[in-house]
Amino acid sequence: MLDSSRQRMAGGQDQKWQKDAADQNFDYMFKILIIGNSSVGKTSFLFRYADDSFTSAFVSTVGIDFKVKTVFRQDKRVKLQIWDTAGQERYRTITTAYYRGAMGFILMYDVTNEESFNSVQDWVTQIKTYSWDNAQVILVGNKCDMEDERVVSFERGKQLADQLGLEFFETSAKENINVKSVFERLVDIICDKMSESLDSDPTLVNAPKGTRLTDNPMPTNSGCQC
C-alpha cells in the first residue's frame, strides 16, 4: 500500500522537482555561508538574491535554511550552495560545525544595530577557527535603506573591513541595493583565490574542480544522482 501511494505521489510531484534536480551542469560549486547576529537580515538578503522577493513577514531561522543558485562568472557556471544560518550565539556550536568546506562567507551586520556591528570581530574569529584558511569573506552592512535609524556609518564599516582585510558593501535587501553585487564579488574573489591556489599547489590540479575545497564533494557534470 505504501509503495503504490509512493508511485502516485511521484507522478504528481516529480516533475515539479525534476527541473531543479536536472540542473546538474556546472563548472564549479561553491558553498557559501551567511552569518551574523540574529535579525540582521540574513534570510531576507538570501531571499532577495535567490528569489528576488522581499517580505516584511520574517520568520526567524531555526537551524539552517538552504538555497541554491547558479550564476555565470568569467565564462563559468557556478552553482552556489547557500547556507543561511541561525544567528543566535547559543547555536554557534551547531552552525560552526558547518563552516567546514565553506569557500565564502557573507558576514552581515545591521547598520541600525550597534550590537551586531560589535560582534563582527567575534564572527571573524569564528571563521578563522572553524573554516578553511582560504575561505573568502565579505563584510556586509545591511538595512542601509533605514537611514533614520542608522547607528553605524559607512565609514566605520569600511574602516573595520579594511582593518580585518575584508571586502565591504552596504546593502539593502528591502530596496535591493548591492545584493547581487555582493554575491558576484564573492564568487569572483573565490575564483581568483582558487586559480591562485591551483597555480601555487600543483597537487590540486588533479582534483576535480571545486570539489577539493568542499566538505560535500559534489559530482560535477556527473548527471544522475540516483
Partner 1 sequence: MCDWINSNGINGSNANDYIDKTSIVSQIKPFSDKLLNSLETTSNGLTNGCPKSWEKSSVVTEKGAKSKGIVVSIESIESPTIDEVLDKVPLVYDPITKQLLLQRGFGNNNGLNGYKNGVNLHTNGFKKLNGVSNLIHENSSHGSNDKTIACEQYSTRNCSANNSVDNCFDDYLKALDERNDYSVVDCKQSPNKDVLCERRTVSQFNDNNALSLLDSNKDHSLEETTDGEYNGNNLREYNGNNNSDDNISNVDSSVLSLNLDDTESNCGSVFDSKPKKLFTLSLQSLLNKVKRNHNNNNISNNNSSVSNNSVNISSTTALILETRPPHLPAKPIHEDKQHKLEYEEMIRQSRKKEMKEMKARKKLSEKQRKQEQQVIEAIKVWNSDILPNWQKSKNCKKTRDQWWCGIPSHVRQRVWTLAIDNELNITEDIYRQCVIGSKDNIWAKHSVHCLEDEDCCGESAADLIKLDVSRTFPQLGLFQESGPYHEVLSELLGAYVTYRPDIGYAQGMSFLAAMLLLNMESEPAFVCLANLLNRQLLVSFFRVNQTVMNAYYKTYEEFFKENLPKLYKHFNEQKLSPDLYLVDYIYTLFSRSLPLDIASRIWDLFLRDGEEFIFRAALGILSMYYEVLLNLDFIYLAQFLTKLPEDIDSDKLFSYISGIHMTTGAEKTPFSDVLSTKLLENNNL
Footprint on this chain of partner 1 (rule: CB under 8 A)? 1-2, 5-7, 9-10, 13-14, 17-18, 20-21, 24, 37-39, 56-68, 79, 81, 86-91, 93-94, 115, 118-119, 122, 215-218, 225-226
Q: How far apart are CA 100 and CA 116, in angstroms?
A: 23
- Comparing CB distances to partner 1, the nearer of 201 and 215 is 215
Sign of CA dihedral 176, 161, 101, 76: positive
- Comparing CB distances to partner 1, the nearer of 86 and 137 is 86
Q: What is the closest distance, in whole angstroms, from the C-beta atom of residue 222 to partner 1 in the complex?
A: 10
Sign of CA dihedral 189, 123, 157, 82: positive
- Comparing CB distances to partner 1, the nearer of 12 and 165 is 12
- Comparing CB distances to partner 1, the nearer of 122 and 162 is 122
- Comparing CB distances to partner 1, the nearer of 7 and 129 is 7
Q: What is the closest distance, in whole angstroms, from the C-beta atom of residue 192 to partner 1 in the complex?
A: 24
179: Cβ–Cβ under 8 A, 6 or more apart, which residues?
45, 48, 49, 171, 172, 173
Q: What is the closest distance, in whole angstroms, from the C-beta atom of residue 138 to partner 1 in the complex?
A: 21
Q: What is the closest distance, in whole angstroms, from the C-beta atom of residue 208 to partner 1 in the complex?
A: 15
210: Cβ–Cβ under 8 A, 6 or more apart, which residues?
27, 28, 29, 30, 194, 218, 220
Q: What is the closest distance, in whole angstroms, from the C-beta atom of residue 94 to partner 1 in the complex?
A: 6
Q: Is 81 helix (H, G, I), strand (E, B) or coil?
A: strand
- Comparing CB distances to partner 1, the nearer of 126 and 178 is 126
* Bridge-based pairing state of the strands 104-110 and 28-36: parallel
Type of residue at 139: L
Q: What is the largest CA-CA distance in the chain?
A: 64
Q: What is the closest distance, in whole angstroms, from the C-beta atom of residue 200 to partner 1 in the complex?
A: 28
